[in-house]
Structure 1
Amino acid sequence: MIDNYYKILGLSENSTQQEIKSAYKKLAVMYHPDKTGGNKAAEEKFKQVNNAYQILSDPQQRAQYDLLRNYYQFQATTTYTDFNNSTYSKSYKNAYYQRTHSKGYAKNYKGYDREKAEKEGIAIGSILIITLLAIVGIYMAVNIYLKEKLMEELAAQRKLQLEIVEDYYKKEDFRATLKEIDTLIAGQPSDDEFRGIREKVISELNKRAESSFQTEDYQNALKYYLILEDFETVFETEFEYKVALCYKQQNQFEKAIDKLKIIINKEPEDFRAWCEIGKIFFYKQQKYEEAMPFFDHSKNLVISFYERRYGKAYPMIIEPTNLNKIHFDIFYGRASLNKQLGNLEDAIKDCSWAAFLKPKNADVWLLKADCEQKLGNIQNACSNWEEVYNFEPDLVKSKMARYCH
């Protein structure tokens, strides 16, 4: 026979959950070891009370307990087994006793009573089987009901979570949207809908970041890039490069340099990153000595690039229009820096390459002419001014009139 948890708590089988909770609190306080000074009997009673509450306070466990308890009660009150392992009801046992002890009891009672007992045993066995089937059916029905309730609760919770995600998305709070959806994915990793929503948000962020970058809205571009950076783990060099440029345009030079150095650590031959660090030191911070090693290295890398692609005869083979603007920036930036540091001959050499890459850039010819003039090479300076005169005559008319005859 199993323990009567209702009796332990002093309750009836029809008690509500609130009554169960109240009875438990009252008894727990009464028998708690802290209140009874180590009394072993009280401690044991406390354990019984606690165990009873754990079962009865859980609807599913309580239902299973009630079914099991009813089964044991039925078995205990309706069956009897004699020494021949035959099962009888209690009423039959009493009648059998009266018959076998009466004076008119016939000698052939054994065969008759055994046949009757067998029939009654079969009937009771059938009742027992039906009862067990009923118990199993009720148990399964309770389980199905509880599972359905759980599924309903989960569905309601999921709907609420998706509404929260949608609300963040509508407000364009993409960081909160991704944070919420990642929490949902962590709890339900196999849910494809959650992953689909995440991919949609990431795609939208990429579109906005690229659009803002192309329109030179670097503040918004950086905002979107940084959200992507926090929620994605793998990035191409181009992504890192654009983040660095956004930092640069926002005058966050140290962060820009740190990001460019990350690119260099990954790809040491990325001459764009070397050049950009040089440009920040030179143009933005006026740190000329610190800028020069980066321009030097970027120039060496780009020359190596030409040699690998075109061979040693690269000066005669290169088609300038096929090259990215960064090639021009390297030579023109280094020329400007050399002039600032007084390295005029090196500046002239770099200007020659820059002019080759962009022959109609007036700034290059003017820079080169200025260096030639400072070196006293007036004829060479005039030749450079003449180049400018062909497409920007107003820029050099006065100088040519003064120095060139």
Structure 2
Amino acid sequence: MVNYYTVLGVTEAASSSEIRAAFKRLALQYHPDKNDGSAEMEERFKEINHAYQVLSNPYQKARYDIQWQFGQPDELYYTPPPPPPSPAYRRAYKEPEVNWRENWVATAYAFGFTLVVATLVMTAIFIKRTYDEKKMEELLTQRRGIFQVAQNKYKLGEIESAISTINTLGVFMDGEDDMEAYKTSLMESFVFEAEHNYNQGVYEEAIYYFELIENYAPRNPLPLQEHLALAYREVNRPYKSLKKLKELLIFNYRKMETYLLMAQIYRDDIHDITEAKRYFEVASDLAIEKYKSIYGNAYPLVLSGASLPEEHYYLYTGLASAYLETGELEKAIKSTKWNISVWPDSVENYLIAAQSFEVLGDDAEACESIKKAREHGYTGTLNSPCL
């Protein structure tokens, strides 16, 4: 067995790059073109090339290394082929005859069976499809009848019953675009009627349409819900108003005006001054956050009554009054100082301060606050030592 490592002049531990380099070097040396076509050099070149082809292929190299270490492959792996059949066997063996008739009959039976099965399947599919189409047609006819009932109810003025009937249809199907458009137009008319009556001060009528939207519309915008809460208060339904406002808070509709309204309802309609004070304080915190976001921490030096909506006056004056009623007199006085710095002509805040000072026993400050109130137009009377 030829030692290919010796042919290439490398050791058995040579790497693939060393084997490649050795081959290039020897190929240049023994290539026939470099030796005037010498037959001896050509044979030598073939031997070098064959050795490289074996050792450069990882699989062939591994096989060659095993053969080189343990002997010739024929000795290890050779399995002799089976002996040819004897003449007697060849004479006895006869190719089986093909019965073409039986083959054709079997093929025909198989084809016929497949055709019957396919026919049955297609027939079943056709029957099922026809049944489904009939049931769908019946369903669409039934739904169309429900829609016509709803239209008749609306024409008779049974508005809520009409929209309730339409809602039983659920999601509209193909071919029901006109029904969907009708429901959409109803909802749009409810929004128009609700807002129109609200703006006109016809609150009971507005509430009727707002509640239709709330109960039957696929979505109810938060501003409409806020208007419903305000309408409830206007018709003296404070608890329903508060319930709706608290629902708005759950939906993160956290406006300063919302908390202010809740505080006013607790103070004026339910007469719970403790809860009123709590909501006044939350509204104040939200307002201050807004001031800081616009003016920074120097907002007390910048703000004036002319730059603030009137709701802010009601907020801080209401908070000062709540502190006075709950006996938190120092907080009441501090609040009035802030309020007067922003609204210097606020008679109400001078009077809150005067009452707070009087309860604390500071008659001088109480009299000074009353004096300021009179300077700004106060003409009423008070039980005060200053008079």
1:238 and 2:213 correspond: no
Cα distance in 2 for partners of 1:278, 1:400 equals 29
Please name the residue that 1:373 is paired with. Answer: 358
Cα distance in 2 for partners of 1:268, 1:178 equals 28
Cα distance in 2 for partners of 1:297, 1:283 equals 18
Please name the residue that 2:285 is paired with. Answer: 300
1:334 and 2:319 correspond: yes
1:403 and 2:382 correspond: no
Contact 2:222/2:253, CA 8 A, preserved across alignment: no
Contact 2:167/2:216, CA 8 A, preserved across alignment: no
Alpha-carbon spacing, 1:260–1:401, altered in 2? closer, same or farther (3 Å)? closer
Give the match's secondary structure for 1:277: helix
Post-superposition shift, 1:218?
2.9
Contact 1:168/1:176, CA 8 A, preserved across alignment: yes
Q: What is the aligned counterpart of 1:261 among 214, 223, 246?
A: 246
Contact 2:303/2:342, CA 8 A, preserved across alignment: no
Post-superposition shift, 1:356?
5.2
- Superposed CA deviations along residues 40-77 of structure 1, whole A, max 9, x for unmatched, are xxxxxxxxxxxxxxxxxxxxxxxxxxxxxxxxxxxxxx
Cα distance in 1 for partners of 2:254, 2:172 equals 43
Unmatched 5+ stretches in structure 2:
1-129
Please name the residue that 1:287 is paired with. Answer: 272
Query: AA paired with 2:177?
Result: D
| Root-mean-square deviation over aligned CA pairs | 3.8
Contact 1:261/1:273, CA 8 A, preserved across alignment: no
Contact 2:280/2:319, CA 8 A, preserved across alignment: yes
1:191 and 2:176 correspond: yes
Alpha-carbon spacing, 1:319–1:239, altered in 2? closer, same or farther (3 Å)? farther
- Superposed CA deviations along residues 321-359 of structure 1, whole A, max 9, x for unmatched, are 443443233212221111111112211222344445555
> What aligned pairs does 1:4-403 form with structure 2 within 5 A after superposition?
158=144, 164-183=149-168, 186=171, 188=173, 190-267=175-252, 269-355=254-340, 361-389=346-374, 392-393=377-378, 395-396=379-380, 398=381, 403=386
Query: AA paired with 1:308?
Result: S
Unmatched 5+ stretches in structure 1:
1-142
Alpha-carbon spacing, 1:307–1:162, altered in 2? closer, same or farther (3 Å)? same
Give the match's secondary structure for 2:297: coil
Post-superposition shift, 1:229?
0.6
Query: AA paired with 1:257?
Result: L
Query: AA paired with 1:259?
Result: K
Alpha-carbon spacing, 1:359–1:225, altered in 2? closer, same or farther (3 Å)? farther
Cα distance in 2 for partners of 1:365, 1:183 equals 61
Query: AA paired with 1:234?
Result: R
Post-superposition shift, 1:314?
0.8
Post-superposition shift, 1:185?
6.5
Post-superposition shift, 1:300?
1.9
Alpha-carbon spacing, 1:275–1:156, altered in 2? closer, same or farther (3 Å)? closer
Alpha-carbon spacing, 1:330–1:376, altered in 2? closer, same or farther (3 Å)? same
Contact 1:241/1:259, CA 8 A, preserved across alignment: yes
- Superposed CA deviations along residues 243-269 of structure 1, whole A, max 9, x for unmatched, are 222333344444333322222223274
Q: Percent identity?
A: 21
Contact 2:317/2:336, CA 8 A, preserved across alignment: yes
Alpha-carbon spacing, 1:325–1:384, altered in 2? closer, same or farther (3 Å)? same
Contact 1:263/1:270, CA 8 A, preserved across alignment: no
Contact 1:320/1:358, CA 8 A, preserved across alignment: yes
Who wins on radius of gyration, i.e. which is larger? 2
Cα distance in 2 for partners of 1:386, 1:172 equals 62
Cα distance in 1 for partners of 2:231, 2:307 equals 26
Alpha-carbon spacing, 1:309–1:171, altered in 2? closer, same or farther (3 Å)? farther
Post-superposition shift, 1:374?
3.1
Give the match's secondary structure for 1:286: coil
Alpha-carbon spacing, 1:364–1:237, altered in 2? closer, same or farther (3 Å)? farther
Post-superposition shift, 1:303?
1.3
Post-superposition shift, 1:228?
0.5
Please name the residue that 2:44 is paired with. Answer: none
Contact 2:194/2:209, CA 8 A, preserved across alignment: yes
Query: AA paired with 2:225?
Result: E
Contact 1:264/1:274, CA 8 A, preserved across alignment: no
Cα distance in 2 for partners of 1:305, 1:282 equals 25
Query: AA paired with 2:270?
Result: Q
Query: AA paired with 2:281?
Result: D
Contact 1:174/1:227, CA 8 A, preserved across alignment: no
Cα distance in 2 for partners of 1:280, 1:401 equals 31
Contact 1:209/1:225, CA 8 A, preserved across alignment: yes
Alpha-carbon spacing, 1:190–1:351, altered in 2? closer, same or farther (3 Å)? farther
- Superposed CA deviations along residues 275-317 of structure 1, whole A, max 9, x for unmatched, are 3333333332233333333332222222122111210011122
Post-superposition shift, 1:378?
4.3
Cα distance in 2 for partners of 1:262, 1:350 equals 30
